[in-house]
Structure 1
């Protein structure tokens, strides 16, 4: 348990280190307008905070730097809770791919860090609408729109001219059988496995089915990453091995996605600092993430990865706002 004075000193060490990336000494703190006690008192309190594992004392400097535990105390106990930042996400009435790309790019620009957004998974999506159109006498186009805003289309060529009545029938039949149902291969096959259909109808439907395979294959690429150059530039990582590990983690998206999914179970923003991260590539970094989706279910995550001395208050507020706006976007898509 810290005293109010110790909490003040810890907060100012963390925040000064965020802005300077340098160890913070007692003289710097004594000149801080928020601190009204002398250098000797400050040195004593710094020593106490170090003994408690909240500060570290680099050999090359008389100043202190916050440890992972010190930053954790700062995030949990010293930051205001529930704040949201101003963030302009022009994603209303966008397709899901565009919304994810805009969100990741805007978040990277707003935080000047690496931003990662995961799209809603396929298993969370249902068919909203199917449309079958005639493009040419021998060519049809089928379009599938899902509840998460994903759109798939495919052109299908036939040897014989396409009966316009078959086109109209297929649109009506597919919507009747699939609208509101999941996109899984078994579900689609079961819903369309009607033995009463004639040979021409069954053959026409079978030709259209690959569009659902397209949706399933597209859903495997679920991460939208922006801002890697921002994080790698400006000496924000200490050494080449850290950079190499991070780049490898970005390539192994399955492992990274597993880390980000932890945020789906959080009521608010998830913060993982340094050694708290299970993925080795992130143990010299900090991760801030939040889930988004309708109130009853989190469908994806909005996350930022940056150096340990990131501005936690600003990043947490920005991630929280991005998740809130994406949640409203998903609700609007579902309602549409």
Structure 2
């Protein structure tokens, strides 16, 4: 348990270090009008906080810096609301997602979130297998070339062009378009579900064979159900001396390319009732152990479908990061409810 004075000093150290990136000394703290204590008393309290593992003392400086545990204490106080003045109003994201396609909404969210927080922003889109088929068209482009267009409930559009050895019967193409649209409208994008709806014993051999030739468009649609990530702000993260170690930069860039580890971390945010915060060594991935992650899930009232998150230095502006991630998740949830409800 920390005394009220220790709590105040620890908060001041975290906030000063977040702003400057420099160790914070007792003289600096003694000059703060909120702190009623002399330099010797402050040094004693700082030593006590260091013994508790909340502050560290760099060898080259008389000042202290917060450890991962110190940042964790600060964040826990921030989230509990027990700290005074820890959650300033700040600027809003100002997301405008009305009447956008899902992929554009995800892209705009990641760009805006990165710009406002000055951090790496990552948005995972809803998996495509949560969507349904809204409309199917079969268009005869040339006598031997036709295109199948599939529009999903999330506004996604998939196109596939097929070339045949012989001219396609226009009547057959028109029939296929009507049949597919009627049979698949409202059906989920899982491969089994799609194929089961196309299995009709009343079809002629010719009709069944023609539909089978068009089946790859639905196979590819089902296979693209892996999560899609929208990433913005990588240059911000590795610039401005925020990530200085070359090995760490390489590991982080590799993780962004592989994405599997990152997706596993982001999925953890889906289980959180509010905001997921992982600080430094709390992250299992080596590339993130000197960074902090703030994330939240978004989606439907009954099910979260994706995540919004930011990644940055441990000394990030947590009030702004938490506030911005919450707002982005809220706005995306509103957007997704409109899309899936339409």
TM range (shorter): over 0.9
- Counterpart of 2:103 in structure 1 is 97
- Counterpart of 1:194 in structure 2 is 200
* Structure 1 unaligned residues grouped into runs of 5+: none
Superposition pairs of residues 120-199 of structure 1, within 5 angstroms: 120-199=126-205
Contact residue 120 and residue 148 of structure 1 kept, 8 A: no
* 2:51 matches 1:51: yes
> So what's the TM-score if we normalise by structure 1?
0.92
Contact residue 270 and residue 290 of structure 1 kept, 8 A: yes
Quick one: distance in 1 between partners of 2:122 and 2:15? 25
Aligned-partner SS, 1:141: strand
- Higher mean Cα deviation, 79-88 or 194-203? 79-88
* 2:218 matches 1:234: no
Q: What do residues 54-92 of structure 1 show as CA deviations (whole Å, max 9, x unaligned)? A: 111111111111111111111111356697951133332
- Counterpart of 2:24 in structure 1 is 24
Superposition pairs of residues 189-228 of structure 1, within 5 angstroms: 189-220=195-226, 222-228=228-234
- Counterpart of 2:62 in structure 1 is 62
TM-aligned CA distance change 1:182 to 1:153, over 3 Å: same
- Counterpart of 1:251 in structure 2 is 257
- Higher mean Cα deviation, 234-243 or 213-222? 213-222
**How many residues of Structure 1 are paired with residues of Structure 2 in the alignment?**
336
- Higher mean Cα deviation, 85-94 or 249-258? 85-94
* 2:324 matches 1:324: no
Aligned-partner SS, 2:103: helix
Quick one: distance in 2 between partners of 1:98 and 1:204? 34
Q: CA deviation at 1:93?
A: 2.1
- Counterpart of 1:314 in structure 2 is 320
Q: CA deviation at 1:2?
A: 1.8
RMSD over aligned CA atoms reads 2.1
Quick one: distance in 1 between partners of 2:171 and 2:91? 54
Q: CA deviation at 1:290?
A: 0.8
Aligned-partner SS, 1:12: helix
Q: CA deviation at 1:228?
A: 0.9
Quick one: distance in 1 between partners of 2:32 and 2:119? 28
Contact residue 152 and residue 214 of structure 1 kept, 8 A: no
Contact residue 84 and residue 318 of structure 1 kept, 8 A: no
TM-aligned CA distance change 1:169 to 1:34, over 3 Å: farther
Contact residue 84 and residue 321 of structure 1 kept, 8 A: no
Contact residue 54 and residue 66 of structure 2 kept, 8 A: yes
Quick one: distance in 2 between partners of 1:84 and 1:326? 20
* Structure 2 unaligned residues grouped into runs of 5+: 82-86
Aligned-partner SS, 2:160: strand
Quick one: distance in 1 between partners of 2:98 and 2:168? 37
Q: What do residues 245-282 of structure 1 show as CA deviations (whole Å, max 9, x unaligned)? A: 11121122112111111111111111100000011110
